Amino acid sequence: MLSPRFEEALAYAARRHGAQVRHNTGTPYVSHLLATCAIVLEEGGGETAAIGALLHDVLEDQPTGRGALREAFGDDVYRIVHDCTDADATERTGLTWWERKREHLGRMSTEAGAESLLVIAADKVCSLQSLVDDLHRFGPALFDRSARSAGELLWNYREVLKILEGRLGERPVVVRLRRLVTEFAVAVDARR
């Protein structure tokens, strides 16, 4: 089912993200990559999508050359990682957060393939679940040290959800994301 190529991607992700932690809890960042990968596999994604899930943040979070990534894992995995990336860590464009998010939403709407959308959905489920948990754990003070406000994050998650609903339909991962967006909105409103 999973070949040595998957094992290579797992080791690569662990090496690239090994020193990185989740910003609110200090949890090793690789936990997010593993959780995203698990959702992709549980949703019926194949090995290519699973590898894309393991590597989906490598361009965004780590100085990684696009050519090196493509050479190591092929065009199919590279495409998924590219589709998941809103801003390359080595080639920051100088765009604002809003501009980057809008550009990424546009690419999701028109260019991203089904495997990429599955990884994006799994990533958003994992990220939003962590955010909701952190909001319950730390309260609204969570946003005192955040670069983004709760309202900005909620806007982005809602926009991503609209695209995923339109392109993936009622897959379980999309239904899960919808529930989390609603839970996040309620938690934010309750804490105001």
Q: What does the alpha-carbon distance between residue 115 and residue 111 come to, in Å, rounded to a whole number?
A: 12
Answering whether pTM is above 0.75, one says yes
Per residue in 44-81, pLDDT (tens digit) is 999 999 999 999 988 876 666 777 889 999 999 999 99
Under DSSP, the state recorded for 148 is: S
Sequence-ordered list of residues with C-beta below 8 angstroms from that of 186, at least 6 positions apart, any chain: none
Per residue in 167-192, pLDDT (tens digit) is 999 999 999 999 999 999 998 777 66
Closest CA to 148 of 101, 81, 116, 82: 101
Contact call for residues 40 and 56 (beta carbons, < 8 A): no
